[in-house]
Structure 1
């Protein structure tokens, strides 16, 4: 970490951070942010640039970013301070444990941008987008809420598509892969993929009203 990131982590974590392993009961989003607002869950926020950009452009919604990489958490906290983003909180730990602690129907959207594809067949069970996990994520979406995934791994993209369309409570308005939405910032992983001429796949599904 840079000195600026280390300083941001030390000063801002008490106000903006959430240690998932320390949760001993339900997680109340209103208490976490201090006021009610539609909530977006960002799973795997990386260095936080995309999360900060979306939160800055979308001040009427709260953004709860989940990450395990401490330098990424510190960098996002630094961005929160620099851009005065009072609608961002940062959680460290297992995203699925956090989702289990959130109330059903409490999320306006879930973003999973470029999750680890775990390309080896024996590791597919570790993938985020699989039927049991999708059912859990969907249960926390409000009716009409959005589950938005993106990947540059073609085989994982097809697996994601099959898993999402198989969930009876999710609706696919695009009948397959979605056009890249303008509101999704280009991430570090996406830039790498574009440099390597790998296609990008977006999947956007909604919970049934």
Structure 2
């Protein structure tokens, strides 16, 4: 599981056993970038949930236990003013993991609002715990399928969107589950203010190629990176990743490491394993 695995993609359908009319049993369901698991909370995290959910957790789900967003949800600046009590810029992190990054950012920038999107109960509870210990008032958490929320977004609601270390879904047949997809990119562009940015980071080379394929040259975005990197131009999966070095390569533009991202244990382990961190900055134009 990667650090930022917290949202689903509506681009495509799930397969499964044969259903009516020869269609797969799960025909029509969105392809998600996560697998919903039971989120058992230990006593410490349960206490954090009970204590802080009323303060930090947004009530925008269609029903309790669902990750779907209410049909009447309008994600706009009026909603931000209502939920945060001010008109400060909003930064949304898709896939907060344990919350270390978004909470550190909120603590360091009290004049900015932060929205943490996370689907897993332990991650949500841990983010609440970190924020509650510091008494932060500029952070909120939504336990929803992120693409659904961005479909409800109105123009200019967010100054930045962050997606750090999303689940790489390394098997070739699962690449469609990757969170960075054209439909989400279009919705994020609408949500961003002009000049706002979508920051992405991954430690998986094949995912870096995927990001470039989805985002480079996309209408409404410009690649603001200034570093030149070399990547294979063909995709590999979990079973043939060792072939990547021998594939044809091309040069791409990426960004220096984003200074606003704290070095989490997840990123540190990737570096210690010899993986290269790929940072991207796509500016809304």
The TM-score bracket by the shorter chain reads over 0.9
Which residue pairs with 1:62 in the alignment?
113
Normalised TM-score (structure 1): 0.94
3-state SS, counterpart of residue 254 of structure 2:
coil
Q: Structure 2: how far apart are the matches of 1:67 and 1:187?
A: 16
Would you say 1:124 and 2:175 are equivalent positions?
yes
Which residue pairs with 1:146 in the alignment?
197
Which residue pairs with 1:24 in the alignment?
71
Structure 2's unaligned 5+ residue stretches are: 1-40, 63-69, 227-252
Q: Offset at 1:3?
A: 2.7
Does the CA contact (< 8 Å) of 1:19 and 1:92 recur in 2? Answer: no
RMSD value, Cα: 1.4
- More helix per residue: 1
Does the CA contact (< 8 Å) of 1:105 and 1:141 recur in 2? Answer: yes
* Equivalence map 1:167-182=2 (5 Å): 167-175=218-226, 176-182=253-259
Which residue pairs with 1:137 in the alignment?
188
- Number of aligned pairs? 208
Structure 1's unaligned 5+ residue stretches are: none
Q: Label 1:19 to 1:124 Cα distance change in 2 as closer, same or farther (>3 A).
A: farther
Normalised TM-score (structure 2): 0.70
Would you say 1:9 and 2:49 are equivalent positions?
yes
Does the CA contact (< 8 Å) of 1:18 and 1:90 recur in 2? Answer: yes
Deviations 1:95-150 (A, max 9, x none): 11111222222110000000111111211111111212111111110100010000
Q: Offset at 1:85?
A: 1.1
Which residue pairs with 1:204 in the alignment?
281
Which residue pairs with 1:44 in the alignment?
95
Q: Which of 205, 212, 226 does residue 161 from structure 1 map onto?
A: 212
Q: Structure 2: how far apart are the matches of 1:93 and 1:104?
A: 20
